[in-house]
Structure 1
Amino acid sequence: MKFLKYLLALTLMVGASAAQADNWPSKPIRWIVPYTAGGGTDLMARVLAAHLEKKLGQRIVVENRPGGSTVTGTAVLAQAEPDGYTIGMVFDSLAINAVLGTQTPYDPEKDFAPIINLAYVPLIFIVNTKEVPMKTLPEVVAYAKAHPEWLTFGTLGPGSPHEIGFDWFKSMAGIKAVVVPYKGVNPAMQDTIAGQIKAMFLGVAVADQYIAEGKLRPLAVTSAKRLESAPDVPTIAELGYPDYNYVTFYGLAAPKNTPQPIIERLNKEINEAFKDPDVRKKLEPIGAILVGGTSKEFGDYLAANMIKFRKIMKPTAQAN
């Protein structure tokens, strides 16, 4: 009897979920961005939200919820009703916070339904042109090995992609450096331009202007392949570190148990958006590599990313 009641309840639940998906969307949708307005993540959300509004016939309200190394906004996403009316961006911080042991009001591996991998964002190893006369990364590595306190490197602090990516490279290259944490990309970049620090990892789109002006010199990119926007800049991998491949990612997710038909509809519409020349043009300033693909592929990527960060952040995690 209990089993029959269970089957009936399960059938009603599935039926309600299907009906919910059939009527979706019937009201505005929240798009949570766990960063402040004005950055690359915010721009991507607003460009795609505008596209989705036309396709879905409902407003997409971008809601910026910064704080706590993305924990604040990500918690809002995880704790929302799984009805398709709250979606949000997720990043490397899902894995980073987990590996660092950061206490979060959600399980980074279980509390989200992956929708789509939006983009990869490679970083570029840049140096001040006056303070660093070397023209190649191998030359910098050789000099840094001979002069352990010479290389000063700006990051956005422990747990930031900039610091993790550099720590990984530093361990591979066998060099020492003075790591200088900053509260934001702009102050770190300005100090690099001024020569207060010698180097940092920077987003390609942000660095372009200063490279063109001769204030910064690009030595290598962190992605596995050279970038179309910087074809003359080698990858770190091809300069003697074949296992090095480090990019941050922008992804889109929903609370767990969001009906799969809703997930698939959002996935389909965003994949189509990435084919739209107007959308691609509006996203160019971010300097990102658009990805797309299926929701399952993004779920697999998130799982693999967790494993990768546990590997490359092991020394950092142990230190904390």
Structure 2
Amino acid sequence: MTVNFDGQVAIVTGAGNGLGRSHALELAARGAKVVVNDLGGARDGSGGGSEAALEVVAAIEANGGEAIAHGANVAKFDEVEDMVKQAMDKWGRVDILINNAGILRDKSFSKMDLDDFRLVMDVHLMGSVNCTKAVWEIMKEQGYGRIVMTTSSSGMYGNFGQTNYGAAKMAVLGLMNTLVLEGFKYDIRVNALAPTAGTRMTEDLMPPEVLEMLTPEAVTAGALTLCHKDAPNRMILCAGAGGYASTRLFETDGTFIPAEDQTPEKVLENWAEVTNTANQSELESGLKQSEKFLGKAFAHVQSQS
């Protein structure tokens, strides 16, 4: 099977450097017309400029592809709307959105200023919300769309000094989970990528010999897997240094405790059953948890009658 994007239009945020740049170049190499979005700021989100995005556009055009640059700040919905409008005016559709833009404001929670917490949430979470909202009705009307959220092991598992980043990166998984349900009948598939790569976001966190292994291209292979025509849906794909894995959320079958015994002491007494992973399962929606618990409750009532 060959993955190609002929005739498709893709928006990649934060595409002036690092992972976004790699995603944009490879999408274009495989036939997509690409909106190269980049605010052009520093790693902490300060400043701005169009040079990086324009360089990526020039590289795509030099290889015979089509691309435009746009400097929208993803945290500002009006700027995102303008970006999507320009894509629609030029090409008439948007098939792919890769929410990649991000910043870092790392500090321990004790030392972190709440403004830094809020800004990281705005860029990572609200940036993904804004861009997705701006293309959502377009994709519904087309009956086709592929959206990739960028999550992180810092969100799924924690990382010292990254409460803001980790919270935002876990939040986009909650966004994904519901968008999957709402977009299903329109063939809008939503997935998440958890990358490990040597970029300017991580360049001072790892030694050079490790950074050499953590190429953006290895992560891009995963990103494109999540946004092509036959992409999966609701997948969390982890990628880095040539390694690929999936992260999934499971819930144990649990136990039932009758109303007269619903105390913390009884919960602790039944802890082994609460945490038993033997019959754990993935739940398709939050409603499935309610159905499971109510099923146990009704079964208990029937057993008493």
Structure with more strand by fraction: 1
TM-score, normalization: structure 1? 0.31
